[in-house]
Amino acid sequence: MRVAVVQPRPAGGRLDSEENTARAAAILRGLAGLEPDLVVFPEYFPFHEARVFLDAVRDLGAYVVAGVAYRLGGSLYNTATVYRPDGSVAARQGKRYVGRLERRLWGFEGWRGEPVVVDVGFARLGVGVCADFWSIPELALELFLGGADVLVNPAYMFSLHRHWLTANISRALDFYVPVLGADLASFPMRTRRYTFTGGGWSHAIVPPSSEEEYLAWWESGAESAEAWVRLRLGEGEDVGVVDVDVEGVSRLRRDWWERMRGVGLDEWLATARARHAAARLVKA
C-alpha cells in the first residue's frame, strides 16, 4: 500500500481552529497525483468534521485517518476516525487516557468503547491515539490480537517527540508490524504555565518485507531496528510518502516469532487471546 503521512501546522497555532478543515482538504487535493491508498493525519487535525473535508476525502478516493473531536451522548471524545474512500465513516477509535490539559481546554472524556481493527482490504488497521499507543503497550497488544497487520498512531507530541520514535520502534519490534506515526509540525503551544515547542518527527517504521532484506538484517548483526525507519520527517510542515509491503511483512512474521520466542505464531496467538482482550475486527 502507498501511505501519505501528513504533518501539518494548525492555523494560528490553534488546534480547534475551524480553518484547519480547509487546510486538511487542501492537503488531500494536493495528494491526488501521488495516488495514496491511505492518508494519515495527526491527532486533533482537522479537529472538526466539516463537509469540505469529507468532500476532499471522496475526491481523493483513499482511506483517511484523521483526528476529530466527536460528540456522542453528551460527551466529547478525542478520536482517530477512519474514513472510507467515499467520505463516509468506517470506524472511530477514541482516546482512552485523556490528559489533564485536554480535559481543561476542550472537555474531552476518556473513551469507554472497545478498540477495533478496520479491515480495508489491503491491510487491517489498528489505530491508537497518541499516548494510548506509544506510552501504554496494552492497546497495541489488543489491536494485534484483533488481527491488525498495520498499526497507526496519530499524535500531538508537544513534548517527548524524540522519545516517541523510539517507543514506536519498540511497538514494531513487539509484533513485527509496520507502525505509522503522524504528528503536528512544531509550533508554540502555550498554557498558563508553560510554552511547549515540540512536534514533528512523523514516521513510518517498516520491518523487512523480503527474504533478502530480512536475512541481510540478521547477518549484519541485528544490533538495532533503526534501519526499519523508512520515513522520518523533520519538525516543519511536510508530507511523506512510503510504500509498505504488508503481505511481505506478514509472511516473515512467522519466522520472526519462532526465532525470537521459540513458539509458532498461531500457538502464541491462541494462548494470548485466552489471557488478554482482543480488539474487534470490522470490515470497512
Residue 208 CA: distances (Å) to CA of 34, 41, 148, 226, 279: 24, 25, 17, 12, 25
Question: How far is residue 249's CA from residue 176's CA, in Å, rounded to a whole number?
Answer: 7
**Residues 147/125, Cβ–Cβ less than 8 Å:** no
Domains and their CATH numbers in the chain: 2-283 (3.60.110.10)
**Residues 153/183, Cβ–Cβ less than 8 Å:** no
Mean pLDDT of successive 10-residue segments in the chain (284 residues)?
97 94 98 97 97 98 98 95 98 95 93 96 98 95 98 94 94 97 92 82 98 95 93 97 98 96 96 97 95
Q: What is the pLDDT of residue 151?
A: 98
Residue with cell 507502525: 179
Q: What is the pLDDT of residue 132?
A: 97
Q: What is the pLDDT of residue 75?
A: 96
Q: What is the pLDDT of residue 159?
A: 84
Confirm whether pTM is higher than 0.95.
yes
Question: How far is residue 212's CA from residue 244's CA, in Å, rounded to a whole number?
Answer: 16
Q: What is the pLDDT of residue 192?
A: 76
- Return the closest-CA partner of residue 152 out of 144, 239, 48: 144
For 70, the enclosing helix (H) or strand (E) is strand 63-72
Question: How far is residue 34's CA from residue 163's CA, in Å, rounded to a whole number?
Answer: 30
Q: What is the pLDDT of residue 185?
A: 97
Extract the C-alpha cell encoding 279. 480488539
Edge to edge, what strands does the sheet with 179-182 contain?
229-232, 203-205, 179-182, 150-154, 124-127, 116-119, 280-283
